[in-house]
Homo-oligomer: A and B are copies of this chain.
Amino acid sequence: MKRQRIDGQETRQALLAAAGEVFAKKGYWEATNADICQRAGVNTALINYHFGSKENLYVESWKYIFQKSIEKYPADGGIPADAPVRERFYGQILSMMQRIADPANHDFDIIHKEMANPTGLLDEVIREAIEPLDQNFQSLIRELFDKTGTEKQVTFTHMIIMGQCFGPMLHLRRAQGGGDSPPGKKFPPDFTIEELARHIVQFSLAGISGIRKPARSLPEAPYSRLLRNHCKRKP
């Protein structure tokens, strides 16, 4: 009993969506073709028929779900381009966090797994997708520095603000994922993404100000000198 369709598009899409979910949940290596096809309700052989290989499906499915994800949560968070910079800053941060936090979205889960356990298969496609967003965000930070920051300060600040956004989201995703993994005491019992985003914005605006005109320069002495200095970077 074959489920014959007009063309393969329906099957293709079912596979792309199912693959996104399974890859996001289990990662590339633990996910099996059988898993994916079962969830998609199609025959196992169709992955190779439509995509040629598991690797290809992996790439295609990430592109697919990332596109859906970015459509649902545009990068600017809906803030007009002529709004004050703080508003746009808040908009981008909130949008990013909402995109990650939405349990229906899986693109970030896969990115995270790729960072932890790279297959290398998504390197190029993720870079292409993320780079524009990244540069957008970085120029916004540069704007917040109001042309007073060095390049290095901007880069560092960019990196650590991204860390502020992603870090807590990892815990949130874990807490969402399995009902068993302890959310830990870290999460206040009643918090919203908006609240956290506002905390980050407030914290970071003050942080940037602190970088721009250090109230008191961070004391170099007396103990800091003692700190060991093991890892500079690979020669």
- Is the Cβ of A116 less than 8 Å from the Cβ of B118? no
Within 8 Å by CB of A214, from B27, B202, B211, lies B202
Q: A55 within 8 Å of B by Cβ?
A: no
Residues of B within 8 A of A188 (CB): 151-152, 155-156
- Is the Cβ of B211 less than 8 Å from the Cβ of A215? no
The binding surface of chain A is classed by DSSP as: helix
Residues of B within 8 A of A103 (CB): 231, 234
Give the size category of A's interface with B: 35 or more
CB closest chain-B residue, reference A123: B181
Contact flag A230-B118 (CB < 8 Å), given A87-B219, A155-B188, A167-B166: no
- Is the Cβ of B182 less than 8 Å from the Cβ of A233? yes
- Is the Cβ of B27 less than 8 Å from the Cβ of A223? no
A residues 147-168 touching B (CB-CB < 8 Å) = 151-153, 155-168
- Is the Cβ of B230 less than 8 Å from the Cβ of A199? no
CB closest chain-B residue, reference A163: B167
Contact with B along A137-152 (1 / 0, CB 8 A): 0000000000000011
A residues 164-194 touching B (CB-CB < 8 Å) = 164-168, 170-172, 174-178, 181-183, 186-188, 190-194
Q: A-B pairs with the 8 shortest C-beta distances?
A: A206-B210, A163-B167, A116-B116, A203-B207, A160-B164, A163-B163, A207-B207, A101-B231
